[in-house]
Structure 1
Amino acid sequence: MSDQGAAARLEQLRALAQAEDLRPFLRRAIQLHPSDLAEVLAAIDGGARARALAELPVETASKALAELEGRVRHPEELLRAVGPDYVAELVAELPSDDAAAIIRDLPPEEREAVLSEVADRAEVDQILKFPEDSAGGLMTTEVVTVHEHASLVEAIADIRRQSAEDDALYQVYAVDGARRLKGVVPIARLIVASPSRRVHEVMEPPAAAVRPEVDQEQVARLMARYNVAAVPVVDERNRLLGRVTFDDVVDVVEAEATEDLLKFASVSPEEDLSAPWTAAVKSRLPWLYVNLLTAFLAGAVVYVFQGTVSRVVALAVWMPIIAGMGGNAGTQALAVTVRRLALQLLPRDRALAVIRKEVLVGAVNGIANGVAVALVAAAIGEGWVLGLVVLLAMWGNLVVAGLAGASIPIVLERLSIDPAIASSIFVTTFTDVCGFVLLLGLGAWLLL
């Protein structure tokens, strides 16, 4: 729903979905795209959602259920409400990857009840045995294959027989008699090539193939690097197990970006709009306590220099400016470094070069900003000595910000700690403490 009336239509459909008589809603629902229908269902309460899903035609309900995955906070409650028999009926209509994603949301005892009713259980079981965030957990096992030595006439006949298994057929995989992956054949090449040719004559090596244990982020990076719409998944003997398609990777990229953004703000990735306020408090309060402890360090510095502040009150005006500019500069360096680490663009032998660069950037920016604040200090009549103190403190704190913003995430990553979670707290602590020490220490030295 992307046009101007989307919000109004969503509200209207929400009301219809929660009405006593569902017939008007059902008439509209079967005309909606599954993603739009899932948006409507996600916006209503759990009981109405289960009731509407149970009344929809099986094909429509199954596609909507697949799109609902990841949009509702407690999917197991929805699946439990419609019952394992109906869930099994819906799952039977879906590709193996979507079916596995839905079944993962069920408690173990109910998962077995649904799996026992699924005709293609072996394919779903194969996906479920791998972690959810791995290539094996994302893959679909429905892939179209042709024998590498088949003629193109035979290959096209094989494709026609298998085409019902693949709803996004733009390439087929060439395999040998043991289902070992030998190459990839774009559909367009099959159509234009001479029918007398063999598959191995028109196939090309796969741009990339992954093992099922590979992390989903690595799969996404490979697809972006080689600009491919699907990546085959193979076992240790190079036998084709399935493929990961671009639609799954889009979801992965969105989920990972959201998770990293929330972690960067020290917020739990589990928190969303549907989460109760108590869950939000529970996820945020521990990190706020950590921030509070680090704030005490900055407060301790001010306490140590309270004599200086009481004698040169003008220094108090510049304290939040020095600390704030250091925090901003540190966050900039931190964001760039964390991104490099997340995208694996920072080899170990380049770590020192990155740190040196951020320190240099901090030094140059420190001079530029330091001169500006020194001129302001002189202009308002606080004297050139105070201006010099502020200049040196600003320069030193921005150098510290560059050093901390680049080195802290690198160190945390080497310690196997997610730098997106903990880096910001340490960086702001460093810049606050160092900013106060520099400003008040230089003030005590030069002004008293």
Structure 2
Amino acid sequence: MTETPANTALWPAPHASGAVTATVHVPGSKSVTNRALVLAALAAEPGWLRRPLRSRDTLLMASALRTMGVGIEEGVGPDGSGEAWRVIPSGLRGPATVDVGNAGTVMRFLPPVAALADGPIRFDGDPRSYERPLNGVIDALRVLGARIDDTTVGAPGALPLTVHGGGALEGGRVEIDASSSSQFVSALLLSGPRFNQGVEVRHVGGALPSMPHIRMTVDMLRAIGAQVDEPESGGEPNVWRVTPGALLGRDLTVEPDLSNAQPFLAAALVTGGTVTIPDWPTRTTQPGDALRQIFTEMGGSCELTEQGLVFTGSGSIHGIDVDLGEVGELTPGIAAVAALADSPSTLRGVAHLRLHETDRLAALTKEINELGGDVTETADGLHIRPRRLHGGIFHTYDDHRMATAGAIIGLAVKDVQIENVATTAKTLPDFPELWTGMLGN
């Protein structure tokens, strides 16, 4: 399969000469875009997806669905209001080969879809994708009636694998351990309305990370006509039920990716400036919304206005003791800010980050410490004692959030060079241009 090209080029992270004042238009949410693509592909009628994110992960999802027979037309929405994708459901079919890259949403959300296809669907991806856990989805699909071959190459319970679609899936009840990724739960819920018996997913493992992403899945299912019972609406703890039924074609507008707004908000905090993010939603299930509280505790202030979210740094950065279990993807950016604070920080509840695009806890520890920092890993997170940092190379490990974390540090520390900043294209296209534009460079 296609691998991400090796890119060892070094990008000089811009150093801020003063307080940043900028308005940054953040592209759409990857999490919303990829869930919306899956749901639209499974709907009973065509639908529109407005302001979709165009990034490596979302283009991989769109390409995969097209390979399986779904029509996705890119153009302008029916009212001429900007870019939109029209998704035209059709009979899912194989044989086909899906390139997941290193996108967790693609490798986990699409095997249940493939079980509904006529014919075999093979899944493969970047070398790192072979190391990311998939057993929760594979084992569950087998219980629900799917036939999956994951033993011909590599270790069982991981990529590469082939789903032998039979045109339908019986569905029913299944127990899974989703403590390594909430995407295991979302993957089964998204396709659940198309299973003959629907699906009942019961989580039986340890702490379930990234709950906002499961809430996002539930909200989006309900928005297109699915009936979902879940713990937060009075249901049984750690149990989600989706009733079988048709999904409606909808006209959906994708919110800005609030997690990708993180480095820009951090810029205001680090430089004592003000950054405005237009179109910040007043209500959202995106984990990035937690930044309003977290970065306020670390020394900033924010206000939702007609212009968007206006975030202002005070000129001081304070350490924080915080459980990030529900918002683990924010950890790299928070760690970068914490390394520049005036007091220690403890980031907890994120042991699962060792299984993300890279082992984020080990990577953050190594890279910050090589710039002169004092970071130690704990059983479930990081302890960060601020020290005077110096320039150097900040490696990314093909991880987009490592790249943006390095850029945050570079605002305050001269001569930081980011290795392979191009990896930000995974979810945030044109990051270098957005970053230098924010600084007025």
Normalising by the residue count of structure 2, what TM-score does the alignment of the two structures yield?
A: 0.27
Q: Per residue, is there more helix in 1 or in 2?
A: 1
Normalising by the residue count of structure 1, what TM-score does the alignment of the two structures yield?
A: 0.27
Q: Per residue, is there more strand in 1 or in 2?
A: 2
